[in-house]
Amino acid sequence: MSLLLTIQLMVVAVAIATVVGVVGAWAATTASESGSRLGRFVGGVFFLSMVICAACPMILHAAAWEATAGKFGWLPLTQVGASQTGSPYGGLGGVFRGLVACGWIHGLFGGSLVALATWHGTRKVPGAIILQSRLELGPLGSWWRVRLPLAFPWLGTAMLATATLAATEMTVVDLYGYRTLADRFYLQYVVDPTANAILQTTAFPLLIAGMGMTSLFSRLSSSQSVQSSVESQSERVSANSEPSFSAVVWIAVCVAVLISALLVAIPILGIIVKAGHEVVVSGADRSVNWSASRFVQNVLSAPTTFHAEYRWTLALAGITGLVAVCGGWVLAACWRTKLRFRTTIDLLTIVMVLVPGPIVGLAVVRLFQFELPGFRTLYHQTLVPTVIGLLMRALPVAYWIIRAGYHNIGDEVLNAASLDATRWQRLWWIERPLLMRSLTAAFLAAAMVASGDVPVMLPVIPPGVTTVGTRLFEQLHSGARYQEAALAFWYVLGITLLAVVSCRLSLDRRARMP
């Protein structure tokens, strides 16, 4: 039964993510390539919105949508969302549950991944192909019939990531009582696991990922051969034409704005509204109000009320991000110099992401149960076990970002440096300045991932330590209240600022590339 529920969630999440992401990528690409200032602005805002959505942990998405449409969300408690039967918890609160809620949250999160991947893939298509297809099919046909099929390896990778996340993530499904394989393992086997339970929980996502990656690699090789044959005959040219604002561009601008609002603005608005929500019950009458003063009071008091949660979250995110950058840098350097280990390193980092969080936490717990000097002290009184568990996802993120940074550095620069310096001298004095922006972006990304990896934290976090993610996970099971909304407000604000800085670093790095 859990396997069937997992498959259903994967199908629903991938379907929503594909529709939202592909349509959003088309709208943003069309708007930004229209040549108009408004179109470029809308395209930039859309891209930033997708990055913010992808950077927010799943527990934060759950908190935002629970505050908006959940049982105690602000929509069901208003006259617009309430049912006509007089039930105080009708309307959206009665529908937004189970597969609907889990599929919606996973689908929108996956939509940001699909949009970013499709946007990147369509922009990598050579300009000669774009111009020729526009002459034959028009701008609309060029994007849907030529650029999108060529970008399918990127689109397929994002769809695969959405499916595997739905199969391995358990915070959202546990909140809504949707018992997938990962959630069943967390509830029934995390204390006393069996080999069969571990195999069932891990084998399915690994099988799906393996089959998907095999198919995508074959499509990627054929797509690259087509594009390289065209680029060998002509230089890449700009796909932008003269500034034009046709009806199609207007539609694209509106669609991009709507999808950006759906994925980012509406959830943030839900947190803001819930933080200032007041429900007054007097006998059989009920009134729902929003107070700006109450919102300010709750938001300003959150850092004091939840100071321990913020402090531990920053500590864990910073330590894990720093360790992940060091480890990812070493792996990326080995990837560049050790050609025979490239595939092994790539596959290892992919497998690390695919292992469900509860199993990672369980493995760390079992590791520190060995009768070795200092292990019990480390387990009960330090953050070492928690950091080790969080590295399972933070390390691959840092590795792939730094790996991309190495890819953007010319081999002639690194080869020339190898003639006059040792390996560690090159790493520190030559490669470090060239990779500084990538290293910073990797640290920020790894810290964001580690800060919200609740499935790993729950089994291994020391007694007395509570992060923002674990606090939200505990409190959301009783319904989103204004305290949790205020707690999530500062969390999403911090994630947004870090995402903006990461985007700026990435754009500056691309602008400096020859």
- Rounded to whole angstroms, the Cα distance separating 199 from 181 reads 11
What's the pLDDT score for residue 77?
A: 63
Asked whether residue 446 is domain-assigned, the answer is yes
Q: Find the mean pLDDT for residues 449-454.
A: 93
Global pTM? Answer: 0.87
- Compute CA distances 167 → 14, 190, 233, 247, 292, whole Å: 11, 17, 44, 41, 40
Both 233 and 167 in one domain: the answer is yes
> Residue 469's domain is classified under what CATH number?
1.10.3720.10
Both 248 and 327 in one domain: the answer is no
Both 494 and 410 in one domain: the answer is yes
Q: What is the per-residue DSSP string for 162-188?
A: HHHHHHH--HHHHHTT---HHHHHHHH
Contact 22, 148 (CB under 8 A): yes
Indicate the pLDDT class of residue 448, thresholds 50, 70 and 90. Answer: very high
Q: Find the mean pLDDT for residues 342-348.
A: 86
User: Residue 168: CB partners within 8 Å, gap ≥ 6?
Assistant: 182, 205, 354, 355, 356, 357
502 pLDDT above the threshold of 60: yes
Nearest to 500 by CA among 70, 25, 45: 45
Look at 106 and 208; give whichever has higher pLDDT: 106
State the residue for tokens 């040792």.
Answer: 422
357-396 tens-digit pLDDT: 888 988 898 899 888 888 888 888 899 999 999 999 999 9
Q: How many domains does the chain have?
A: 2
Flag the least confident range among 90-94, 292-296, 455-459, 460-464. 90-94
What's the pLDDT score for residue 402?
A: 93
Query: Of 234, 252, 270, which closes a domain?
Result: 252
Determine what percent of the chain is predicted with pLDDT higher than 90.
41
What's the pLDDT score for residue 418?
A: 67
Asked whether residue 490 is domain-assigned, the answer is yes
What's the pLDDT score for residue 181?
A: 85
Asked whether residue 25 is domain-assigned, the answer is yes
Q: Find the mean pLDDT for residues 420-444.
A: 84
Query: Of 191, 225, 252, which closes a domain?
Result: 252
State the residue for tokens 């002639």.
Answer: 412
Indicate the pLDDT class of residue 484, thresholds 50, 70 and 90. Answer: confident
Contact 77, 277 (CB under 8 A): yes
Q: Find the mean pLDDT for residues 291-305.
A: 90
239 pLDDT above the threshold of 50: no
- Rounded to whole angstroms, the Cα distance separating 452 from 309 reads 12
Indicate the pLDDT class of residue 242, thresholds 50, 70 and 90. Answer: very low
136-158 tens-digit pLDDT: 888 889 999 999 999 998 999 89
Both 90 and 179 in one domain: the answer is yes
The SS3 call for residue 247 is helix
171 pLDDT above the threshold of 70: yes
Q: What are phi and psi of 71, to 5 degrees?
A: -60, -40
In which domain, by residue range, is 331 found? 301-514
Indicate the pLDDT class of residue 318, thresholds 50, 70 and 90. Answer: very high
Both 363 and 231 in one domain: the answer is no
Flag the least confident range among 103-112, 198-207, 353-362, 443-452. 198-207
10-33 tens-digit pLDDT: 999 999 999 999 999 999 999 998
Asked whether residue 183 is domain-assigned, the answer is yes
73 pLDDT above the threshold of 70: yes
Determine what percent of the chain is predicted with pLDDT higher than 70.
84
Flag the least confident range among 244-258, 328-342, 500-514. 500-514
Asked whether residue 121 is domain-assigned, the answer is yes
